[in-house]
Amino acid sequence: MPIDNDRNRILMALRERPPGAQSRELADALGFAQDVVERHLQYCVDYALATWKKKDGTGLAVITDRGRDYLSRQGL
């Protein structure tokens, strides 16, 4: 899986929020457009790096153990 710094920033933000975060919250915190965050979240869900139950742009995203391992392997 290719390294993507924006995706890594989103995963690191999720790691810092154990209860999870909504895409809007992540977009505001990271200075990204919400659609960019949602695209990266969907990628993370597809590769089991995060879980996210999107409901009309809301829903908590949570990093998985695989996502934590992914960041760890990259030294993040």
Question: Is 1.10.10.10 the CATH number for 5-65?
Answer: yes
Kindly state the helix (H) or strand (E) to which residue 52 belongs, with its residue range. strand 50-52
| The predicted structure's pLDDT at residue 25 | 93
Spans of all domains in the chain:
5-65
Q: What is the pLDDT of residues 15-67, one digit of tens each?
A: 999 899 999 999 999 999 999 999 999 999 999 999 998 766 578 999 999 99
Please determine, for residue 3, whether its predicted confidence score (pLDDT) is greater than 70: no
- 2 Cβ contact list (under 8 Å, min separation 6): none
Please determine, for residue 7, whether its predicted confidence score (pLDDT) is greater than 90: yes
The amino acid at 66:
R
pTM: 0.88
- 39 Cβ contact list (under 8 Å, min separation 6): none
Q: How far apart are CA 39 and CA 71, in angstroms?
A: 18
Q: By the 8 A CB rule, do 26 and 15 touch?
A: no
